[in-house]
Amino acid sequence: MITERKGKVVKGLGGLYEVRIEENGEITRLSCRAKGVLKRDEAKVLIGDDVTVVVDDLTPDSIVISSINTRKNALIRPPLANLDYLFIVFAAAKPSPVIETVDKLTAIAEHNGIIPVIIVTKSDVDSESAEEYGEIYRLAGYPTFITSSDKRDGIDELSLYIKNE
């Protein structure tokens, strides 16, 4: 029996994709390949794509992604689709941050309708710089977290944000 199932691509490597399917409260993961037409650059399957998978119960090895649903956004590098948030992480010091890169990533996120979340790490190394950077992005209206892995500062707030979003 041939059936169609809806799922989300959660992994891809060498033309083999893992699709997460949730039905009746149960989650299954299927390994499959993309249909020939979906291997072209303009239609290429991306991690995060919502897809339709064709499953043939008689030949379980022939599970195929048959179509990609409309994407709400897509990034070229890394190749990802349908993002809600982009976590941009940089150190306050050692190494010094390249703010131009952070700003470029926030602009790319904004352009694609993705919420950029700023995470400034290593506040234990240079708390003054961490606070300055944090204040810049906070004033710009972005969710911003200042953290220290050593002291565990800001980790609980960040975890709470992730759980609530």
Model's pTM, two decimal places?
Answer: 0.83
Q: What is the dihedral of CA 96, 100, 102, 105, to 10 degrees?
A: -150
User: How sure is the predictor about 120, in pLDDT bands with cuts at 50, 70 and 90?
Assistant: very high
Helix (H) or strand (E) holding 117: strand 115-121
* Predicted confidence (pLDDT) per residue in 58-102, tens digit: 666 678 999 999 999 999 888 999 999 999 999 999 999 999 999
Q: Say what the pLDDT of residue 43 is.
A: 72
Based on its alpha-carbon atoms, the radius of gyration of the chain, rounded to whole angstroms, reads 20
- In the predicted model, what is the mean pLDDT of the chain? 92
pLDDT at 82: 97
Condensed to tens digits (0 to 9), the pLDDT of residues 35-64 reads 877 766 667 899 999 999 998 776 666 789
Per 3-state DSSP, the chain is made up of helix, strand and coil in percentages (nearest 5) of 30, 40, 35
pLDDT of residue 81: 96
DSSP SS3 for 64 = strand
